Amino acid sequence: MTLDGKVAIITGGASGIGRATALTFVRKGAKVLVADIDLAKGEEVVAEVEKAGYPGAAVACAVNVAEFTEVEAMVARAVEAFGAVHVIFNNAGIAGGAPLLEHDIEKDYHRLIRIDQDGVYYGILAAGRQMAKQGTGGVIISTSSVYGQQAAELSFTYSAAKAAVISFTRSAAYELAEHGIRAVAITPGRVATPIINQFSEELRATFAAEQMRGVLTDPQEIADVVAFLASDESRVINGTVVNVEDGYSAFKQRLDLPVF
């Protein structure tokens, strides 16, 4: 599998799944725009790419995905740097939540919707327009979540936004197929990103127990799947939700076996 000749934009590319994906894409031959609200950390990823022996394969770009003008500028920056856009990984997002009846509407609703939902819409729209203009086709991959398919604790708004990502993906695949553009969503479960690693060891152990292997997923494991989805080898995967959650959705919890 190769990504030779492809130009990819990765939002939230400075840490976690985004960082692992940026490094993986470069190793597989792609040029990458590492887009993140934290430009300094994005530049650190670019420095990692350079140090690994891939000079010129990545550039960093500051972007607030909650602002469409910034997302448009991000796409233009990728074209300026590398001549085209063939892949976008709409990965930037935030977590958070509170019991519904205790919501601060700005913090617990609008803020999450602007980033986790609107930010993906903006990425699909801006990159989709560029890909259609190029006439070269492309792939739009967006990060949803297991929470986008079920109810969960303290996640009223987060779940709604992630469900919207799944709907966006299906509709984008339908509308953009005539341009040779695919759209795919992924649904990570419990991944050892900075968001989860900040929690206590006890809580992280609980999270790990919710997955089949009983461990937190490594960001690299998600990156490997995203790289495949971006490749020509996955051309028949379109309008699809790809579960990357180590069985999280398949069971509730492990119980001690009863003695008969």
* DSSP classification of residue 40: H
The Cα 6–Cα 1 span in angstroms is: 13
List the one residue out of 50, 57, 49, 42 whose CA is nearest residue 11: 42
The tally of CA atoms less than 13 A away on the side-chain side of residue 57 is 23
Cβ–Cβ contacts within 10 Å for residue 170, how many?
A: 15
List the one residue out of 31, 35, 30, 3 whose CA is nearest residue 19: 35
Amino acid identity for residue 113 in this structure: I
Task: Mark whether 158 is an active-site residue.
Answer: yes
The Cα 145–Cα 189 span in angstroms is: 6
For 176, phi then psi, to 5°, come to -95, -5
The Cα 126–Cα 239 span in angstroms is: 18
The Cα 41–Cα 211 span in angstroms is: 30
First-to-last alpha carbon distance for the chain, in angstroms, is 51
User: Kind and range of the H or E element at 62?
Assistant: strand 58-62
Using only C-alpha atoms, what is the Rg of the chain? 18
In the set 54, 158, 174, 248, the catalytic residue is 158
Residues catalogued as catalytic: 158
